[in-house]
Structure 1
């Protein structure tokens, strides 16, 4: 049975492969397909796809715009991939990340029967048994889930998030294809080893699998709720564990006003400045205190409740910062505000390994220019999110590794600053940041953190000292027995071998064509054998074969773009 299941999955993948190729070629990325050598495996499928692929209506669009349209057409998995790439300027240029940030789900609503089937399969009970009321007309529909309104038998108003049927199978097939394409990119494209696409797809697989598992989202919401339980300015909806599973998530219904409905907020006598302050403090507390922050705080995900309380919903996308990175972030912002170039360079050097060809003076010059842009700029004019993005651009320029969550944080701060300034024209995110940074820097040099760091170092060195004698003994033993080996890996040699293989094949092809032409010419001089139009048929056949092979070779060379 497993064999048939695997066969069906492979057939499904092949069909999807052809569809993916078709969309890429349609939107002008056929040259990428060529470089990946996919046509060797899907040549016929590609021929069928290519017909009529060039459409004049998309020829005038930019490459980032065409990529966004292609990902939207390919569906949920590729939309989510594009959203991930929009937070990775270390992989794509700013033009691409900005365009991919516009990606939108365009999905039809799931029929009521399918929604009922998902819920009843998850809990083994009918919808009517589980809920006193359930509206099959959705409040919202996205690529992975659909949201419905309902009511529990105990009287609580709830919203029910239901995973789309078959979405797990679709995403599994697409990720298998992405994994295969990633290996091809790494093997055939010159930038493949720099981009590390295989690791990117693995990271994407982990991210989307977490997003599809609603049990994990429930635990995340519970963590957020616990973090803000004693904060009267922030509210997080509660979950109902008995009505939650891997495919269904039941949450408290929050009757609030969207933070972007300014007129409605004013009519309800809310204080917009207080709302902006509460929202900023909530995000900064998530980032700098808890290390767990909402990764998509757009206006549709933030509601305002009575007493100017800010309520966050939809925790499908979250970011995480460990304590060390949080301390470093506070030091970075403090150094920028104090215009301390030397300290900034030290932070950068500590952030990761610099490549050998980058010199410290060049890095110092880039940091000086970065700091000069903020020299004598009033605090209320500094955009914290924009500042963080510019800092990340320096990391990218000097190939200094950094956490992808840092870029997600920058986008989060930009979104919150935009909302804050709409609520309050005098809103100043840096002003809200300063007390948090002061507390963080005090915590870093405080006795609790120092003792924790000291204990961690003692444990690390203790483990090293414990294994060091055995490691030294094994090392010396291997040398004495001539069994000490060093493994060397030559990167990029595979591409050279592939190119040499292509060149030798073309050369062999050329020799074969030349031999056919010479042999046919000799046959033409003999006047022996059957004649065709007064000439030896064998000679005409040889010329014809040579012409076809020569034309084939010429087309292959022209299509490769290497004359």
Structure 2
């Protein structure tokens, strides 16, 4: 790891956090070697060895800044990475962050819109509706009288995010290099995906387009509301959108549950998410209960579209097959689909993976509606895959997170709702709908063009093949090793080694005969005679090796 001097404080801050929790459940599987290297030049205090609670981790993340708060929020829905006690504690990070002072809000709004806040808006409430790690939301009224919600990004948050993420990237690379656990769970991939999500979430122009796209995709659902942006009052740091009056799902009380039939709303909510994933390939990726509101007219509003997931056509089809297999408790088909959308190394335990998946699916068959949680099951499968050396597509973990959040919403609004059975019915309808959609003439156009080309060229090519067969002119070209050439080359090498050994023997013999002064032929020392012969042979061998071999290569 290359330590950049100006980042030393950031490294120290993160390393101190790791060392503090090195003996807790959260790092119980970490590599000692990686931690030892991270701990270089760091003194372990008594505090690092004492018991640390999940609640303490939450406070530490808040103190470390918005980047770590956002990472904590993301990790709060990752049971494949963290123990349950930490997940519950990190969930409190969803709302509990410090407010931005109104003076700072006013400054940002006026800089972004290029006008006074009093000119842009008829009224602008100083108290925020909500405050988050990236920004906060205020209610306002446009000059037209339209009520809007204005989301304002925290000053300098993008720069801080990028700096912190760069630091974490370097440290995650180190962890993957030295920790088998970090490598097995793809910590570097997790961080890359997190970076991608967080950077996109900082661009409010992108979120505005997400709101428009999702609103269009879900316009057929009567009970689903997507607030639409007001583009003239929006920028990369400000997002002005429809004001939706209502309450968070988490604040729905017991009396409301008896007055409202939530099953109709949940039916639409579940179907809308399955449509997003399987048909549209574009889904709201963060439907935690804090981002799903119950409106005054008893509809469900989906808020905060900074985080979206995209699924390729092939992956959409595989997910449909996977969810249908789960609904039918077909463990063999489930493991087959998971392997098809994954990568595995040479040491992957495929047989063990299939056994574990089959066991999970069969166990789920014996659970009642309240206990059956497809999201949690998918995340468990992802964890088992990592343990067996299989890396499932990251989109599947996002799918697990979406379904896990839906499970939580159902548990709040209608605990007795049979989500698994209703999903099965919706999926079967979607399978028929998808097949009908793919059978449309326009979807066959590309295939028809290729089929037309094949049909046009096939008779001519078949005639050519049969003519060549009839005239005994059918040839099969195979690039293979030329045995004769190989043998000749090998023999040439052997001969040259033999000649070289003879020359060496002549030179050594000549050196020894130099000690016999009276041994001469025609007045020349016999030693010198053999030395001359060795020199001639040596020059001849050099000629053969350099000149002749070069001529041979050119001819070849």
Q: TM-score, normalised by structure 2?
A: 0.69
Match of 1:304 in 2: 294
Report the structure number with the largest CA radius of gyration: 2
| Pairwise CA distance, 1:152 | 0.5
User: Secondary structure at the residue paired with 2:210?
Assistant: helix
Query: In structure 2, what is the Cα distance between the partners aligned to 1:453 and 1:79?
Result: 48
- Of 335, 357, 364, which residue of structure 2 is paired with 1:374? 364
| Pairwise CA distance, 1:166 | 1.7
User: Secondary structure at the residue paired with 2:390?
Assistant: coil
Moved more, 25-34 or 227-236: 25-34
Residues 325 and 333, structure 2, Cα contact 8 Å, conserved in 1:
yes
| Pairwise CA distance, 1:149 | 1.2
| Pairwise CA distance, 1:339 | 3.7
Match of 1:383 in 2: 373
Query: In structure 1, what is the Cα distance between the partners aligned to 2:180 and 2:258?
Result: 59
Question: Does the alignment pair 1:37 with 2:28?
Answer: no
User: Judging changes above 3 Å, is the alpha-carbon distance between structure 1 residues 36 and 440 closer, same or farther for their aligned structure 2 residues?
Assistant: farther
Match of 1:138 in 2: 128
User: Secondary structure at the residue paired with 1:275?
Assistant: helix
| Pairwise CA distance, 1:246 | 0.8
| Pairwise CA distance, 1:242 | 0.5
User: Secondary structure at the residue paired with 1:55?
Assistant: helix
Match of 2:139 in 1: 149
User: Judging changes above 3 Å, is the alpha-carbon distance between structure 1 residues 327 and 37 closer, same or farther for their aligned structure 2 residues?
Assistant: same
**C-alpha offsets along residues 53-104 of structure 1, whole Å, 9 cap, x if unaligned?**
4338x82236x66655543432221232334445556655667666655545
- Unpaired runs of 5+ residues, structure 1, are 1-8, 463-474, 477-563
Match of 1:502 in 2: none
Question: Does the alignment pair 1:405 with 2:395?
Answer: yes
Match of 2:268 in 1: 278
**C-alpha offsets along residues 350-373 of structure 1, whole Å, 9 cap, x if unaligned?**
223444344654344333323321
Match of 1:317 in 2: 307
Match of 2:51 in 1: 60
Match of 2:283 in 1: 293
User: Judging changes above 3 Å, is the alpha-carbon distance between structure 1 residues 315 and 206 closer, same or farther for their aligned structure 2 residues?
Assistant: same
User: Secondary structure at the residue paired with 2:136?
Assistant: strand
| Pairwise CA distance, 1:181 | 1.5
User: Judging changes above 3 Å, is the alpha-carbon distance between structure 1 residues 154 and 82 closer, same or farther for their aligned structure 2 residues?
Assistant: same
Query: In structure 2, what is the Cα distance between the partners aligned to 1:344 and 1:355?
Result: 20
Q: TM-score, normalised by structure 1?
A: 0.68
Residues 16 and 174, structure 1, Cα contact 8 Å, conserved in 2:
yes
- Of 322, 346, 371, which residue of structure 1 is paired with 2:336? 346
Residues 205 and 235, structure 2, Cα contact 8 Å, conserved in 1:
yes
| Pairwise CA distance, 1:338 | 3.1
Residues 379 and 397, structure 2, Cα contact 8 Å, conserved in 1:
yes
Match of 1:468 in 2: none
Match of 1:418 in 2: 408
Question: Does the alignment pair 1:14 with 2:8?
Answer: yes
**C-alpha offsets along residues 440-484 of structure 1, whole Å, 9 cap, x if unaligned?**
43355557369859948998xx9xxxxxxxxxxxx99xxxxxxxx
Query: In structure 1, what is the Cα distance between the partners aligned to 2:119 and 2:39?
Result: 54
- Of 428, 444, 453, which residue of structure 2 is paired with 1:438? 428
How many residue pairs are counted as aligned between the two chains?
Answer: 444
Query: In structure 2, what is the Cα distance between the partners aligned to 1:264 and 1:340?
Result: 38
Match of 1:256 in 2: 246
Query: In structure 2, what is the Cα distance between the partners aligned to 1:157 and 1:268?
Result: 31
